[in-house]
Amino acid sequence: MPSEMVVADPLLATLEIDVDKVHSVAKTKKAKAGAGSKAGDKAKAAATKVQASWRRTSLAVWLSILDKAAGSEKALKRVAAMLQNMGPAGGQALGKLILYLSGPGTSVVARARKRALIGLLRSGAKLVNFALKTVLPRFMTPTRRQVQNQLAALHNAGTGLPLGEEGPAQNYTLEILRADDADRLWRRVEGPAGGEARYERVFLGLDALTSGVARCLGSPQVCPFDSTPVQPRGLIKRTTCRVDTRLVKREKGVSKKAYREQQVANADVDLVTDCADRYLAQTYWPPLAHALQKAIPRRAKSMLDFEYPADFMPRAMRDDPENVISLDVDIDIALRFDSPEPLFNLDSGLGDFTSVAKVQNDSRFVFFVRGHNGYPSLGTFELKNFKLEARALAWWDVFDSKFDLAFTKEDPPKVSWDIEVALGGAALPLPDCIEDHFLGGLTSMVMRTFNRAYPLHLDIAAMNEEEAELQERWGCEAVDEDDNVC
């Protein structure tokens, strides 16, 4: 081990003694219920002392602990228990290790530490959940800011976002309008160079007729908004994101070396096509099966009812399978634009994964798909809230900070929302049964296309870079985890 990473054993011994003290006091409290207050005070004092010790430790200490535990499954489980007992400080320490070891480094020591950290994360699902509980709130904050910034920027610019560069899509733009208390829609228009911005009325459906009558009678429409740009803070009133994981372990009897060799050998093999063609050959008459194998595209084949191999891994993850953790996850996501009230039952522990806006913002945004060059407008929709409950498979490339997420066909995602849709330039409203149930079911069906062959790819490192660019572009400032500043 490098000399700069050597840490005095007394400090490590002190940490071990403090951890044992916490467990000892906790057992005393449980055994002597009559003296609960005194034992509770001792436990609290000991826990506070332990957390303070862990906060003072440097990255060198964590690396030293990892070095000492490397190669011993029992020692790694001990470290995992210590991290979990530290609460949020332990989660921060685990995050430090992951971020540090994600950097460049191919020395013998670096490779050994990466193997030890992967072994630590694979020691139990509790530690993975613990790491996600620490990471997710930090991930939610930049994601929420990105969404709010982009919505506000698109509305304030007053220009639509093109939906395509060729074909019919190039004749459509997505605009974000602002609705007032009377449900009238307004478009913000930038003034000439150096001039003041203003709002202009957008007429759809019967509004066009009533506005024409009003103009004839000399009753102009008064805009309730001034020229001040809409601030992004507080547009999203409440966000909830919880992920509960279970480790997917390799088949029994398969060694680490054999598992790696198998995944590397499969890196250039199209397992989806192979499995789908085998399924078609076993299910249909041979000439028909052969015709279907030639005619069905790969994406459609990936949705057939065949069983994937137990150790299946997306192709992008197969180049370095030792650093990839396979997870079976339950996902709960909720997003509210209309109210800070919860959509989930907080008794189920979702409060730890919820962020509520502290800044009040009453702006209502309505999406408008506008047609150009003679193409008709498709209509408007206003998303008030959204809720997703799903079971999925995930592959976490720890050191590249990437996730691949695939929804399972056995337990498809459940989507529910409150949305207001109006079709075409006539703004024909849809019945609630179609808005809330049919469109929700259609969205669920689309999400199921993110299967094991075509997973949803999340690059956390790239998202953080985009967040930094947005902060620099829009002048966003850092705040605490619970606030919505940008």
Alpha-carbon span 410 to 55, nearest angstrom:
44
What pLDDT sits at residue 486? Answer: 37
What pLDDT sits at residue 366? Answer: 93
What's the pLDDT tens digit per position in 404-425? 888 887 788 888 888 888 888 7
Half-sphere exposure of residue 357: CA atoms within 13 angstroms, side-chain side:
25
Contacts of 345 by beta carbon, 8 Å cutoff, 6+ apart:
none
Least confident of 216-230, 259-273, 300-314, 399-413: 259-273
DSSP string, 244-292: EEEE-PPPTT--HHHHHHHHHHTTTS-HHHHHHHHHHHHHS-HHHHHHH
Domain residue extents for the chain = 3-123, 135-153+233-266+313-474
Burial of 149 (0-12, 13-18, 19+ CB in 10 A): buried
What's the pLDDT tens digit per position in 39-78? 556 655 655 555 555 555 567 787 888 888 887 888 888 8
Alpha-carbon span 35 to 426, nearest angstrom:
73
- Phi first, then psi: give them for residue 27, nearest 5 degrees: -65, -40
Contacts of 257 by beta carbon, 8 Å cutoff, 6+ apart:
none
Which among 98, 68, 22, 176 is positioned nearest to 461, based on CA atoms?
98
